[in-house]
Structure 1
Amino acid sequence: MGLLHHEVTVLNFDHLYKQQPQLSDRADEWIELSNIPSTNLFCTREALAEIRRRLSARKTSGITYIGSGNHHYVSYAFLSEIDHPFSLVLFDNHTDAQQSDQLPGLLTCGSWVAEAITRLPLLQQVVWVGVQSDSFSGDPGIRSKMLLLPDLEHPGQLLSSLVADDIYISIDKDVLDEADAVTNWDQGKMRLKQLIMALHTLVLNKNVIGIDICGELRVAPGDEWKYSEQIRLNEKANLAILESLL
Structure 2
Amino acid sequence: MNKPIIIMNFTGVYDYEPFSRNRKFTWIDCTHLQGVECYCDKEGALALKKAIENYPAEGIHFIDSGNYHYLTKFWTDKIQQPFSLIVFDHHPDMQPPLFEEMISCGSWVEDIIKTNSYLKKVVIIGASEQLINSVAPQYQTRVEFYSEQSLQQESTWKRFSAEVINTPVYISVDKDVLNPQAAITNWDQGSFTLNELEHLLSIILKHEQTIGIDICGECPATLNIFEEEKEAQLDSTANKELLKLFLSFQSHTFQ
- AA matched with 1:116: I
Distance 2:81 2:200 in 1: 24
CA contact (8 A) 1:8 1:28 kept: yes
Count of paired positions: 240
Distance of aligned partners of 1:114 and 1:52 in 2 relative to their CA distance in 1, 3 Å threshold: same
Q: C-alpha displacement at 1:191, in angstroms?
A: 1.1
- AA matched with 2:176: D
CA contact (8 A) 1:5 1:60 kept: no
User: Aligned match of 1:190 in 184, 189, 192?
Assistant: 192
Do residues 210 (structure 1) and 207 (structure 2) align?
no
Q: C-alpha displacement at 1:58, in angstroms?
A: 2.8
CA contact (8 A) 1:12 1:67 kept: yes
- AA matched with 2:245: S
Q: Normalised by the size of structure 1, how large is the TM-score?
A: 0.90
* Percent identical residues: 29
Residue 229 of structure 1 corresponds to 230
User: Aligned match of 1:11 in 8, 11, 16?
Assistant: 8
Greater alpha carbon shift after TM alignment, 147-156 vs 226-235: 147-156
Residue 116 of structure 2 corresponds to 120
Do residues 40 (structure 1) and 42 (structure 2) align?
no
1:51-98 Cα deviation digits (max 9, x unpaired): 011101236730110000000011110111111111111000000011
Distance 1:82 1:22 in 2: 28
Q: C-alpha displacement at 1:185, in angstroms?
A: 0.6
1:151-210 Cα deviation digits (max 9, x unpaired): 334765334334333000000000001111111111001111011112222222111000
Alpha carbon RMSD of aligned pairs, Å? Answer: 1.9
Distance 1:217 1:210 in 2: 23
Do residues 75 (structure 1) and 72 (structure 2) align?
yes
Distance 2:61 2:176 in 1: 17
CA contact (8 A) 2:8 2:27 kept: yes
Distance of aligned partners of 1:83 and 1:8 in 2 relative to their CA distance in 1, 3 Å threshold: same
CA contact (8 A) 2:126 2:190 kept: yes
Distance of aligned partners of 1:162 and 1:194 in 2 relative to their CA distance in 1, 3 Å threshold: same
CA contact (8 A) 2:18 2:233 kept: no
Residue 127 of structure 2 corresponds to 131
Residue 169 of structure 1 corresponds to 171
Residue 179 of structure 1 corresponds to 181
Distance 2:201 2:136 in 1: 30
- AA matched with 1:149: Y
CA contact (8 A) 1:93 1:131 kept: yes
Structure 1, unpaired ranges of 5+: none
Distance 1:63 1:81 in 2: 14
Distance 2:57 2:142 in 1: 28
| Partner secondary structure for residue 57 of structure 1 | coil
User: Aligned match of 1:84 in 81, 85, 100?
Assistant: 81
Residue 162 of structure 2 corresponds to 160
Do residues 110 (structure 1) and 111 (structure 2) align?
no
Distance 1:128 1:67 in 2: 20
Q: C-alpha displacement at 1:112, in angstroms?
A: 0.2
CA contact (8 A) 2:165 2:208 kept: no
Residue 252 of structure 2 corresponds to none
CA contact (8 A) 2:94 2:108 kept: yes
CA contact (8 A) 2:11 2:221 kept: no
| Partner secondary structure for residue 34 of structure 1 | coil
Distance 1:6 1:176 in 2: 26
Q: Normalised by the size of structure 2, how large is the TM-score?
A: 0.87
